[in-house]
Structure 1
């Protein structure tokens, strides 16, 4: 586990600012919750933009919709990133887009034999034995200032790197790991440092005003698939074809009658047999 301690990571980083304030702990409740507290308690000098907190084990890790995220110590990448974008609230989805793109590109670079994509909105998927399986996920938590801008954003990421079949958790979406999908162990340090470099580059491009929508949409495996969507809030289930997204990344689903629904938040299951 020493490959992810401070000295090892700092010497391997190629970023300019992202991850230069880096904290490693063997075990923690939640990296998101702890980093959120660090951002609230300290000024920007104590917790600057680009601060990264990584743990080898989370006892209270969670993903979207408050679902637990579990991984055996030393087998996954479990970390959170602090950003201070000062973007309008409408651009919050850009953060999830660039984060998921960074993960996809890092996996493609470190594990070139794997086919990787994104299941809307932010599940990281790889192909294994002819089917898509979930290898990771993202969680965004943000705070707004008095002008409706994103003052702080915490991006939490969890990636199953070297979990064995016996270590995989039970989940609605069949999970896997990079080890199982690719057939060989993956260097967590190599994947982590490449991921941070990709994230920094994508973030800086977004800061310049260029939307990540097109690049993100190109990686969506959901488009063109028959899906079942359970909407957050009302619990309504919709069935149809995922036909695209709007300009903010909300999923568009067309049902059998030709009606188009725009999903801002929901749980998507691929239904290829429908």
Structure 2
């Protein structure tokens, strides 16, 4: 019997391959519950709304799931990790208030997870998710090598329009959110350009690139989702057991180490040489006379050396 109730969340016209893939993830215990919508404004917003509703004893999207309908209140532990996935996202958001919309040519999902109990490990969560997604992409698209642009961009080197000059291109991004309703949980949002890349209006942004352009073939979305979820759960386990190993994997893929950068930190622009990632996951930037450890900020430009 299927572990996923097809009527949950008013799924609508479910793609059978995706439905079966989610069911396998549930049956194998990689996720505990799932919400699949053909269209939604934002998978991250859906997850945050559930957290807030649960904290207020209001109905959640998992309330009608038969396996969890018990007389006593459902605990979060029974439904986590919970996958929120959509065919099309119409009102998503990225960092710094940027939009993050997608079509069925992309993979867009959020994973609601319990935060690791150790604060030092929790600080590395964003980097760990980057490593997990990079490993999944490399598995799907070998021999593609993924670079990670701190703090949340997934990139690779590619010659645009057949050029022999390789430049850093964006394959996707990560957005991790917390909510005051449940401080021990995190919403991990992932978006990947699968078979089509969006048009980027910002002249300072990296050019967008689809995985299909790299591989020369269309990629099945359900297979990509399976690889991404499996890799994410695997790396989260690694993060709890050996955070130094996960941090080193990020450092090995860091696209910024050794590069001259222009950073936007709040309303301040800071220029300097990236020395890499420190033990707490911060960006080390050497400026005139000092080394700064940045916990947040946006890379506005990677300057030619």
Q: TM-score, normalised by structure 1?
A: 0.87
Offset of residue 262 of structure 1: 1.5
Q: Indicate yes or no: 2:68 matched with 1:56.
A: no
Secondary structure in 2 matching 1:224: coil
Q: TM-score, normalised by structure 2?
A: 0.79
On the 8 A contact 1:2/1:8 being kept in 2, the answer is no
Please tell me the root mean square deviation across aligned C-alpha atoms, in Å: 2.4
Secondary structure in 2 matching 1:113: coil
Unaligned runs of 5+ in 2: 1-13, 55-73, 160-165
On the 8 A contact 2:32/2:78 being kept in 1, the answer is no
On the 8 A contact 2:115/2:122 being kept in 1, the answer is no
Match of 2:215 in 1: 182
Aligned length: 264
On the 8 A contact 1:168/1:176 being kept in 2, the answer is no
CA distance in 1, matches of 2:44, 2:225: 17
CA distance in 2, matches of 1:267, 1:194: 29
Q: Indicate yes or no: 2:252 matched with 1:218.
A: yes
Match of 1:138 in 2: 174
1:151-170 pair list within 5 angstroms:
151-163=184-196, 167-170=198-201
1:228-243 pair list within 5 angstroms:
228-231=262-265, 233=266, 235-243=267-275
Match of 2:101 in 1: 70
- CA deviation digits over 1:126-170, x for unaligned, max 9? 22101110111111112468xxx9411100111110115xx4343
Unaligned runs of 5+ in 1: none
CA distance in 2, matches of 1:52, 1:186: 21
Match of 1:19 in 2: 31
On the 8 A contact 1:31/1:80 being kept in 2, the answer is yes
Q: Indicate yes or no: 2:21 matched with 1:8.
A: yes
